[in-house]
Amino acid sequence: TIEFTGALHATVVKQVRLKNPSSKTLKYKAILVGRDADDFSLPKGKTVTIAPKGQKIINVEFTSRFLRPAEAVLLLTSKSVGGINGASMSFSLKSEVKHIEPADILKCKSPCYEL
């Protein structure tokens, strides 16, 4: 589970590190699914290529629109490269709004009532 915690309307970025222990290149297609998948994004694109014995970091962004917790799943499905497939992976994405910051403060003067 990857937890995104922050203020309402703030963008939180988390990183997922993928390692390739094999001697062949691995390629994955990243998909966000679930009730709140639209609130999460993959700014570097939806295709991930990991070099042999290498690693790759995927940034996952979340922007909160509501006070309720958001949930989605990051699915990484392997694409065949030279007949080699990696294991499919899934990560649960959850959010929590910890505080609310005002967008603006307005001062108003008005009589309480009129006769």
Task: Name the CATH architecture for the domain at 2-99.
Answer: Sandwich (2.60)
Match 């991930």 to its residue by tokens: 48
Confidence of residue 111 (pLDDT cuts 50, 70, 90): confident
Indicate the pLDDT class of residue 17, thresholds 50, 70 and 90.
very high
Q: What's the pLDDT score for residue 5?
A: 95
pLDDT: which is higher, 99 or 81: 99
Amino acid letter, residue 44: K
Q: Which of the four pLDDT bands, split at 50, 70 and 90, describes residue 112?
A: confident
Is the pLDDT at 81 greater than 80? The verdict is no
Burial 15-48 (b: 16+ CB within 10 A, else e): ebebebeeeeebbbebebebebbebbbbeeeeeb
When comparing pLDDT for 82 and 100, which is higher? 100
Question: Strand pairing of 40-41 and 71-79?
Answer: unpaired
Domain map (residue ranges) of the chain: 2-99
